[in-house]
Amino acid sequence: MTRRTLSDRIGAAMMRRTLKGFEPGDRHVEISRVETPMADGTVLVGDLLMPDRIEPGTPTVVMRTPYGRSSAFRARLPLPLASRGFPVLLQSVRGTFGSGGEFVPQRNEASDGLETLRWVRRQPWFTGHLVSAGGSYLGFTQWSATAAALRAGEPETAAESMSLAVTMPDFGAITWDHGAFSLGNSLTWSRMMTVIESARIILTMIGPDTKFKAALTHTPLGSADRAATGADIPWWDDWLHHEDLRDPYWAEQSYRADVANVTAPVSMTTGWYDIFLPWQIGTYEDLVAQGRQPLLTIGPWGHDSADSSIADIENAIAMWDEQFRGIPNPRAEPVRFYLQGADVAGGPGAGGAGAGEWHDSAAWPPVGTEPVEWYLGAGGRIGKEAPTAPGAPTAFRYDPAGDPTPSTGGPVLRGDGGAVDDREHEQRADVATFTSEPLTADLDVTGTPVAKIWLRSDRPSVDVFVRLTEVHPDGRSMSVTDAIRRIGAPGTRHTDPVRTDDGAWEVEVPLWPTAHRFAAGNRVRVQVSSGAFPRYARNGGTGGPAATETELLAANQEVFHEPVRPSSITLPVWTRA
């Protein structure tokens, strides 16, 4: 019989409180401190969570984190796994929570991760199989360690299975999202990391923080870190001064190219409002292109959703039980996604995400998804008929200094994200809208919508922000998905479309993936604007370096919708054929 201590009962209570609906396992778990030496003499510290009963074939789980090893953090993933019988090493990455060296985001995770995997395999408590788990930054540490092992010619050292939640292998791509600096998320995370080991973290997380809010509007961006925290954040300057993702600074810490070489089983869990969503689905596509079959779960969740964490735990255990113990995975298909409704007046997962439903599929997007092009038209209309006559473009003025177009909802690290009612936002003069007639039947969109916007500006650099919404009979305009693309910046010029003699571009904007049902009787709406602040930094219009730009110039924009310059959005429509 398993021995249950007061510590076990407290841990079980914390797991139930942190992960509502999750039932902890029945193991007694001993937690001890361990030290892992690196080749350069640095020592990384961690906690070993060892269950008192381990079934034959059970793998040892490695997790590497910059967020500490508190009881609250352990209750989110390490302790649930240990309570179910999995030994877990929870290690603090270099320069955090007692581990030696300096914390430099992303820079040391490949080498330190590889050395940690080698070290674990030599330990007397190692069970004979090694897997990795964790989300967000912990997912990046998995990708980097696996890549390092494969690059070193040591596939036998790499994790034999990976459970990856709300993450990606290339943080440069989210920092500079299609050329636009992800200001809100980047500054939020950076400020958090400067105080994470002090009592100030509580004040930072609960806010409100007027100093931080003021820092979002600070110019130049290169010193916004000092405005937010009163001190220089070591990596902030590097992030701002490397706009081009081809720069060695980013290339050396990107492991996207290594994804195709991974042959170990992979489970991915993410949400429609996660900040890493398009890139995580991109890694799924990379693996599928190589003939692999990763598991993919996409729910109505944001980045820090407890429901997402529970799904991640259950997905990982089912994968490992099948791989190492021969227990069939009860999952019907490799892909499981949540088809959302549009009547959510709150954050991700609020109220069950409307009239949504789960679907199992052999692939993402599901079989039967076909592209259907909808054209923007004069008078704020959108439909399937291409424009047949010339007409005046739709004009708006973007003012980054006086009244920048605000961000509403969407995928954010902290704050009010998810689906929101945008009807008030759409009354702004700097937001152009195009709306369909009421739908005669339900319209299921599953995949990545792609907008092609013909836009002219009187500035050399411009942002094109496109959002898809569903308009209800009562006037609600509920956000579904969106995306941004910057043109004319130092980091984008090698991919910018050709500008016409009269100053127009055809700008292709892949929106974030979605699975959403537009109900019969409702309308499809597309917003076009030139910003989403502070989610993304304001575009000053000069085309100068973002780190040092202090000019914020108003821009006059025109969206064309005529036969020779048709603006459109291609919707991936699921017919279930």
Task: Provide the CATH number for the domain around residue 301.
Answer: 3.40.50.1820
Residues of the chain with pLDDT under 50: 1, 342-353
Domain contains 419: yes
Instruction: Note the pLDDT of residue 577.
Output: 63
pLDDT score, position 210: 86
Q: What number of CA atoms fall less than 13 Å from residue 439's CA on the CB side?
A: 16
- Residue whose structure tokens are 């959703």: 305
Q: What are phi and psi of 423, to 5 degrees?
A: -65, -35
Give yes or no: residues 281 and 401 share one domain.
no
Residues 420 and 408: beta-carbon distance below 8 Å: yes
Q: The domain containing residue 32 runs over which residues?
A: 6-173+253-335
Shared domain for 528 and 468, answered yes or no, is: yes
Bridge partners, residue 335, by sequence? 296, 361
Q: Are residues 122 and 195 in the same domain?
A: no
CA distance 291 to 552: 48
Neighbours of 449 (CB within 10 A): 26
Does 167 fall in a domain?
yes
The pLDDT score that the predictor gives to residue 200 is 65
pLDDT (0 to 100) of residue 161: 98
Residues 409 and 496 grouped into a single domain: yes
Q: Give pLDDT, residue 502.
A: 93
The answer to whether the Cα torsion of 8, 13, 17, 23 is positive or negative is positive
260 and 127 inside one domain = yes
- Number of independent structural domains in the chain: 3
Q: Tell me: the pLDDT tens digits for 2-48? A: 667 888 999 999 999 999 999 999 999 999 999 999 999 999 999 99
Same domain for 169 and 209, yes or no, is: no
Per-residue pLDDT at 353: 40
Cα separation of 264 and 162, whole Å?
A: 7
- Asked if residue 499 and residue 379 are part of one domain, the reply reads yes
* One domain for residues 57 and 198: no
| 218 and 77, same domain (yes or no) | no
Beta carbons within 8 Å of 325's beta carbon, 6+ residues apart: 55, 56, 57, 58
